[in-house]
Amino acid sequence: MSQANDAAGPAANSMKAVQVKLVLLGEAAVGKSSLVLRFVNDEFQENKEPTIGAAFLTQKCRLEDKVIKFEIWDTAGQERFHSLAPMYYRNAQAAVVVYDVTKASSLEKAKSWVKELQRQANPNIVIALTGNKVDLVSTGRKGRRQGDGEADEDEQEDDDTVDDDEEDDEDYAVTRQVATEEASAYAQEAGLLFFETSAKNGLGVAEVFTEIAKKIPLEHILSSSRGGRAGGINGSNGRVDLQRDGANGQRLGGQQDKGACAC
């Protein structure tokens, strides 16, 4: 895949990208920021600081003869930031709503986000329901070490207590609280894309964004925002080549470019 991306890179960079606004929503500590970092920079940070407000990152991918530039708003999951969410999902063409497969309550929160999006967001928004942290279920690694840093203060205090009493490398069995079948059935009923991922090992992360790219109505975006004629894109069979746009998101809209390379 790397060689294909390298070959597609110069051609993709020469094309004018179609900008697509994408927002990530979900409860704190479900792994939203880690998913974005895996997609954009192909990296994972064990002890990432909580997101404050929102972080902004970009990433390009190629869909047949089009280049999509995802403008990604990674929102904070703490309840005190909930009122800020509409400014980030307003006019968004896509949303990734994330829950933790080891925490049933996070799926309920995800469902409430889906309802809010369907009620208030762009009526044509593409929504992907994403169950993260499947690596915890498969490996039994310590759950509190696999989050995206969006834990609240009480959760962080609990982490400190455990660190004092247990070895860092200790394992224990992590129980899946959200069955794949349950979440998949809900997603199908609600008309959502559905994925299960691991931001830590990268499982399924690229698929989330490539499948969203296939579903985005690019013709409508091009005709409405640029006045260009609609292009013919086969949403079900389009080939997507991911390319890192080299953006490291910073809080509240900051952006720092690093240099493009293949994902």
- pLDDT tens readout for residues 195-221: 999 999 999 999 999 999 999 987 777
Q: Report long-range pairs for 247-251 (Cβ below 8 Å, ≥24 apart).
A: 247/40, 247/57, 247/58, 247/59, 248/40, 248/41, 248/57, 249/36, 249/40, 249/55, 249/56, 249/57, 249/72, 249/74, 250/55, 250/56, 251/51, 251/52, 251/53, 251/54, 251/55
User: Quick one: CA torsion of 136, 143, 251, 216, rounded to 10 degrees?
Assistant: 30
CA 19 to chain centre: 17
Q: What percent of the chain has pLDDT over 70?
A: 65
Residue type, 54: A
Residue type, 226: R
DSSP secondary structure, 12-45, as one string: HHHSPPEEEEEEEEESTTSSHHHHHHHHHHS---
Q: Is the pLDDT of residue 17 over 70?
A: yes
**Per-residue pLDDT band at 48 (split at 50, 70, 90):** confident
- Considering the domain delimited by 2-262, tell me its CATH architecture: 3-Layer(aba) Sandwich (3.40)
Angle at 231 between CA 230 and CA 232, to 5 degrees: 125
Q: What is the pTM of this model?
A: 0.74
Q: What is the pLDDT of residues 132-153, one digit of tens each?
A: 999 999 765 554 444 444 444 4
Sole residue written with tokens 């400014």: 87
CB-based contact 186:129 (threshold 8 Å): yes
Q: Where are the domains of the chain?
A: 2-262
Q: What is the pLDDT of residues 160-186, one digit of tens each?
A: 444 444 444 445 558 999 999 999 999
Q: What is the DSSP letter of 48?
A: P
